[in-house]
Amino acid sequence: MITRRHFLLLTGAAVAMPVKAQLPANIAEIRKAALTEAIGKVVGNSRVRQGRVKLDIPPLIDNGNAVPVSVEVESPMTEADHVKTIHLFTERNPQPYVLSVQLGPRAGKARIATRARIGDSGDVTAIAQMSDGSFWSDSVRVIVTLSACLEEGLI
């Protein structure tokens, strides 16, 4: 016996499903996919673990055009155990890439700093590759009040 409530639920679901599928993929999803792809290119099939990397970025950004970012990785930086590369990604820029650097034991310390453009509120991710091939990462969710590249009317 189908109750009225049951019937409405069923038809509601039937109607909602195709409508959802017909909606164009929105920009947030596209950018999320671009970020996932960019990270995938760097790490391949390896597992990315949280920790060892410390991403320092202000959580509230007044002006996204020049955001101070620094990344520090815990590592003895010896010939046997050092940081090989550090990659920096953002979630909401037109392109997810920000910076990639190559370090070696001669760096002494794995610490870099720069200034980035952040397009919109979202995650900023740093991924470090160690000399043993392992990947470590850190993410910070930031809020941007004035976006970089406002004048061009992106999106």
Partner 1 sequence: MARVVVNVPPEAKRGEVIEIRTLAGHPMETGFRRTQLGEVIPRDIIRTLVCTYNGVEVFRAELHPAIAANPLLSFTTVATESGTLEFRWTGDNGFSATEKAAIKVV
Which residues of this protein are in contact with partner 1, per CB under 8 A? 65-67, 70, 90, 93-95, 97-104, 106-109, 111-119, 148-149, 151-154
Looking at the Cβ atoms of 39 and 149, the one nearer to partner 1 is: 149
Question: How far apart (Å, rounded) are the C-alpha atoms in residues 68 and 104?
Answer: 23
| Residue 130 CB-density burial (10 A; 0-12 exposed, 13-18 middle, 19+ buried) | middle
Looking at the Cβ atoms of 71 and 135, the one nearer to partner 1 is: 71
User: What Cα–Cα distance (Å) separates residue 129 from each residue in 31, 35, 52, 80?
Assistant: 23, 17, 11, 14
- Report in angstroms how near the CB of residue 15 gets to partner 1 at its nearest: 38
- Pure H helices in the chain: 4-22, 27-43
- Report in angstroms how near the CB of residue 151 gets to partner 1 at its nearest: 7
- Report in angstroms how near the CB of residue 27 gets to partner 1 at its nearest: 13
Which of 142, 37, 152, 154 lies closest to 94, judged by CA? 154
Looking at the Cβ atoms of 130 and 154, the one nearer to partner 1 is: 154
> Following DSSP, what letter does each residue of 113-139 receive, concatenated?
EEEE---SSEEEEEEEEETTS-EEEEE
- Report in angstroms how near the CB of residue 83 gets to partner 1 at its nearest: 11
Looking at the Cβ atoms of 5 and 106, the one nearer to partner 1 is: 106
